[in-house]
Chain A
Amino acid sequence: MGEEWDGKFVITARNLRKMYGPHLALDDVNLEIPSGAVGILGPNGAGKSTLFKCLLGLITTTSGDGTVLGYDIRTEGDKIRARIGYMPEYDALDPGLSAIDQVRYAGELLGMNPAHATRRAHEVLEYVGLKDQRYRKIETYSTGMKQAAKLACALVHDPDVLICDEPTNGLDQRAREFMLQTLRRTVSEGNRSVLMSSHVMDDVQEVCDRIVMIHNGKIVVQRRIEDLARQIEREIEISVWGGASRMQQELESRGFAVRRLGRVLRVDRVDDSTTRNILEAAVSADVQVRQMQEYEPDLEDIFLLIMEKLGAEVRSTSDLMTAAHTGGDLDE
């Protein structure tokens, strides 16, 4: 760890700026990221990859400074990379190697001696669920297995901070759940910090308790997800059985603000009597209320609201995804 690191924030940045020629990729970025799981969000081209490269000490910053684990990102890039595990977004594996050899080599590239690297490769491949397939060549792996192998390469030296770039890219439901569970466990059981970028808000919400959002090279939000969710107006969501239009009219006639999509209605929660009023309206409108709950805004809601505030035309996070995110062109 860096000599003057107080252990409070694993990553800090102050007025960090990066320009590629005339293009401003990072604009006065100020960051203070404590340990734990943090989601890095932002539309394509927002500057997430540039931020990662700056944090890994791979590119020189135009101005400003920053630290990772107390090490200076401008001068101590090699020390940072020795303590960080990086899981890249795209394929980064040699198809001619078996997973065990690939992970061992990844460890050796960090300076682990071959015997330690081999033993550790067995451990992390078991951890990421590839124990039985570890002697198979990577060229025979599915996308999910390749993602797991990349995670194993990043974890081989038990890093303090794990940076995952789109870890669930192209994964099916089962593989995705396992990947997210593995990342959660790395934080909770391994006490490691995870920085995860993803366009899938559900994934980020499942692993992370904080988000950092980048837009046009600027940090627009860095806060706990539950703090952000608390700012959004509370609504009660009801699903009705037939006569949704009647129900909407009845509620509006009682002075409630109602939004409706199909048989799902959202009613602004005014006070504790709102629930009783909704049920009375249902009786009056002669409709069955099949489900009623206080709607909990999720990260997707928060992301879209922030994008709306910023004037970006994003209807849903699926607009941000390319074919690679859904596994469409992984073999190309």
Chain B
Amino acid sequence: MSDDGIDIGGGKTRMEVAYGAGDGDDEAKAIVASKEAELGTIFEQSYRPWDGELGPRWARNYAIYRHHVYGLFRSTGHRHYHPMVRLTIFVILLFSLLPVLMLFLASLSGDGFMADTFSRMWGINRYNLWGQVLGYFPRNLCCWPLLTALVVGGMISDDRKNGTSAIYFSRPVTRLDYTAMKYLSVAVVLGFVIVLSYFVYYTSAIVFNNEGWAYLVDTLPMFVGGLIAGILVVITYTSIGLALSSISQSRFFAAIAFLSVIYGTKLLALLIETQFDTSILYVLSPYDCLAQIGQWLLGIDSNYNHPLAFSLVSIITINAVCIALLAARVSSLEVTRE
């Protein structure tokens, strides 16, 4: 080592005696301490080296993704989701697949009034495809926001609360990888319920009604429109949810804040519309912006008076702001606390 500038030559060491040892001039009495019992041990500690190879970047990233997604399916070994959370997500998945059951019942009823009614109510058309993803009740009132709140709660806030960010960033995991994998994990879970249920709904309609290629060609543009709308829902809800998760140490805050953003902006815009007969404030509501874009993608008349461009700009802005907030907050996650 190189030398230093401090010289402690000639310094005096400190002096200290045990508390209660007296001043040295008193009549001291000898105190004999009893021997402490010794515990036996059968443990033999030995250091074992490891000469394996560490995997590349994708292996580390896959570990993060797997940790968060597998936790939904396995009770141990991965991120812990409360059994009630897992049960609720499963119920939401089943509920989102309810039209499939109705389509199946319709296919059993043969031709006639019943089949016609069932087909209009649950069959494939622009309105039903839009409703499967973007219908306010029950999808965007009861299901998707609740699903998002349950998944994003704690996704990043737990790392801040438990200090587990140190486990990630003291390893060759970059903040970009960390954020991207958390984002992907949430998006995949939401996509599994929202997009997959939409896909199953569409394909089951073809299978149950024994439709052919002509039907597929006719309805595929509508399906793709709805699919894009579904992906937009997943991306937007993931961005908002993760941004909220990154700004606190509480999984409860992230969940409640997400629900508040979705329902609060919708309620505010509804009140303004009722009082002042203008729909412009719906640009603040992520759901309504997505709903209007979805209506355009599926070729449905818009429910809103303001131009579609407002909603498009709003959704882009909301996502950009949330991702910027997420990036800023992840940058502030510490490896060492001071």
Contact = CB atoms under 8 A, between A and B. Distances in A.
Interface of A: 30, 32-34, 45, 49, 52-53, 56, 58, 77-79, 81-82, 84, 86, 88-98, 101, 104-106, 108-114, 116, 120, 123, 127, 129, 131, 153, 157-158, 165, 181-182, 185-186, 189-190, 210, 219-224, 228, 231-233, 235, 240-245, 259-264, 266, 295, 297-298, 300-302, 304-306, 308-310, 316
B169 A58 contact: yes
Interface string B77-95: 1111000000000000000
Query: Which 7 A-B pairs have CB atoms at the shortest separation, nearest pair first?
Result: A244-B24, A263-B24, A96-B80, A111-B55, A108-B63, A86-B170, A190-B47
Given A78-B174, A262-B23, A157 B54 contact: yes
Interface in B1-58: 1-17, 21-28, 43, 45-52, 54-57
A297 B13 contact: yes
Contacts of B275: none
10 contacts: A49-B336, A56-B335, A90-B163, A108-B63, A112-B55, A158-B51, A223-B4, A232-B8, A244-B25, A259-B12
Contact of A262 (B9, B24, B164): B24
B336 A53 contact: yes
A58 B335 contact: yes
A242 B162 CA distance: 55
A189 B162 contact: no
Contact of B170 (A56, A235, A308): A56
Contacts of A305: 8, 11-13
A223 B56 CA distance: 38
Given A93-B164, A153-B167, A231-B7, A52 B336 contact: yes
A136 B269 CA distance: 50
Given A94-B162, A266-B15, A310-B6, 6 more contacts: A30-B2, A49-B337, A92-B162, A110-B172, A181-B45, A235-B13
A63 to B, nearest CB: 19
Contact of A111 (B14, B60, B166): B60
A80 to B, nearest CB: 8
Nearest to B22: A262
B73 to A, nearest CB: 15
Interface in B165-200: 165-174
A116 B55 CA distance: 11
A111 B59 contact: yes
B301 interface: no
Contact of B67 (A78, A105, A112, A240): A105
A244 B25 CA distance: 5
Contact of A309 (B1, B8, B14, B158): B8
Contacts of A182: 45
B45 A127 contact: yes
Given A92-B164, A165-B336, A127 B48 contact: yes
Contact of B26 (A86, A220, A242): A242
B193 to A, nearest CB: 23
Contacts of A158: 49-51
Contacts of B48: 123, 127
B76 interface: yes
Given A98-B76, A111-B56, A262-B21, A88 B6 contact: no
Contacts of A259: 12, 15
Contacts of B28: 241-242, 263
Contact of A81 (B21, B64, B170): B170
A190 B49 CA distance: 7
Interface residues of B, number: 66
Binding site of B, secondary structure by majority: helix, strand, loop or mixed?
A: loop
B336 A245 contact: no
A259 B13 CA distance: 10
Contacts of A33: 1
A89 B337 contact: yes
Given A86-B335, A120-B50, A243-B25, A109 B8 contact: no
Interface in B134-171: 158, 162-171
Given A105-B67, A262-B23, A264-B17, A220 B5 contact: yes
Given A153-B167, A244-B24, A306-B6, A89 B336 contact: yes
Nearest to A88: B166
Contacts of B64: 109
Contacts of A235: 12-13
Contacts of B26: 242
A217 to B, nearest CB: 13
A301 B47 contact: no
Nearest to A266: B15
Nearest to B158: A94
A186 B13 contact: no
A245 B335 contact: no
Contact of B24 (A90, A186, A245): A245
Given A53-B336, A112-B52, A231 B8 contact: yes
B124 to A, nearest CB: 42
A323 to B, nearest CB: 14
B338 interface: yes
A34 to B, nearest CB: 7
Nearest to B162: A94
B22 A263 contact: yes
B167 A242 contact: no
A228 B8 CA distance: 8
A138 B333 CA distance: 22
Given A101-B78, A157-B50, A231-B7, A91 B12 contact: no
Nearest to A33: B1
B19 to A, nearest CB: 10
B24 A221 contact: no
Given A88-B170, A111-B55, A190-B49, A260 B24 contact: yes
Nearest to A30: B2
A153 to B, nearest CB: 6
A233 B17 CA distance: 20
A181 B47 CA distance: 12
Nearest to A297: B13
